[in-house]
Amino acid sequence: MSTTSRLRLPFAVLPIAAFLAGESTLTVAATGSASSLLDQFEVACTPAIIDLPTFTDGDNFLALGTHSRAKRVTADPGSNFCEDLNSTTGLIDELNGNDESARLAARAELASDITPDEMPAMYTSLVQLSADQIRNVSQHLRGRRSSGDEGGTTAAANGLVSYYGGNAGDGLSGRFSLFVDGAKVDGNQNQTAKEVGYDLDTDHFTVGVDYRISNALVAGFAYGNSDTTLEYSDAGNQTDNKTDHYILYASWYRDNFAVDTMLAYASGEFDTRRQILDSTAVGNTDNSITYFSVAGSYDFVNGGLTWGTFASFDYLDGSIDAFAETNGGGWEVAFAKQDVKSQIYAMGLQAHYAASFGWGVLVPHIRAEWRTELEDERDFIVGRFVQDPSSSFELAADDPDDNWYQVSAGASAQFAHGIAVFADYEEVLEYAETDLSTVTLGVRWEF
């Protein structure tokens, strides 16, 4: 980087520092990870410090401004990065003089800008994407079984063979089925000590086709697409993700018992945008995940009412490729590859009621489940500042919540000629610092 470019960086914070000097009551929302990282790099960029201690779990380096989960931070005191950092923090101190509150607020603003604590959300969003696609296919399989033939399904036990009751039809369901699901996910996560808050907006669709091999077995293939936007609480910071899913699925059922299985591979890419002082750093990287799901259920039948228990296990293994930001005005960060892992066990209750009308069959349904994440620890996110190849740092992410609940309600309607439509609303409850809801609409055609 040229001398001119480097000198421009400290003056990028001049308006911020001047404003904060006049508004000492203003607080800047910086995570503990961001403030800690700035403190540690100031130490690493001090020429008098020849070798830093290793920061490990359980250590306490309050004198250095670190937190107990920080690990080794390195930098070359003679690098352009350290020159820019020392000039910027020195300017903050000079502008604010003896006004300690203004100085701390300006430093928090700088820490928030240069620290990439948006990165942990990428991991979380990939796990959620797989869960959304599993939900779409599972909803289809439950409807497919309900419209089964005379092989002993719960629908047949209800006297609603094929769910073609009333005037909706009088034949058995088709061997082939085509379905299309569309889902809208809205949510947000509050800022924590380690991660910035964000709003989440995801659009999913899943299209699949399957074949009824026998009275007890259905197998098929589905393609899904997920388009996610994460808008962080720091204005202008955003991550976009587009991922394609390829899913093999099957359902085996006999009498009132059923087992659903899915095996899927998904690949996509993240685009990141991060405001750093007067620049906008951008990044792009690929992601890939493989996930597997198995679920079992048992239903009890009483007239038109069917209710029962279920349990499921979802396993995910994947990665986010290494990448480096560009256009960050000298504060760009390069990230190492991240492994993504999840093992979620769930169990719960579900019920639906089939009511026959002249036009077909209406089936309202409800579902409630408890979920637990068995992979409840996150690895550190490893990075370095591009301008100083010798630099390195590790950011701690929030561990996944290990217990939460999901509830859903909706209805499906079976019409003549094997056509069914359905709608569903689902909400996540008691997940730490997170609100999440999903609306799903879909159509199925059996022929």
For 137-156, write each residue's pLDDT tens digit.
Answer: 999 999 888 765 433 344 43
pLDDT at 64: 32
> Within 10 Å of residue 326's Cβ, how many Cβ atoms?
12
pLDDT surpassing 90 at residue 66: no
pLDDT tens column, 176-234 = 999 999 999 999 999 999 999 999 999 999 999 999 999 899 999 999 999 999 999 87
pLDDT digits (tens, 9 = 90+) for 423-438: 999 999 999 999 999 9
The predicted model scores a pTM of: 0.85
**Range scoring the smallest mean pLDDT among 21-30, 235-244, 247-256:** 21-30
Place of tokens 């089925």: 177
- 262-274: per-residue pLDDT in tens? 999 999 999 999 9
pLDDT tens digit sequence for 121-134: 999 999 999 999 99
Judged on CB neighbours under 10 Å (0-12, 13-18, 19+), 271 is: middle
Give me the pLDDT at residue 23, please.
40
> Could you identify the residue written with the tokens 């701690």?
396
Give the strand order in the sheet containing 393-395. 323-324, 333-335, 381-385, 393-395
Assign 29 a pLDDT band (cuts: 50, 70, 90): low
Count CB atoms within 10 A of the CB of residue 22: 9
Whole-number Å distance between alpha carbons of 242 and 34: 28
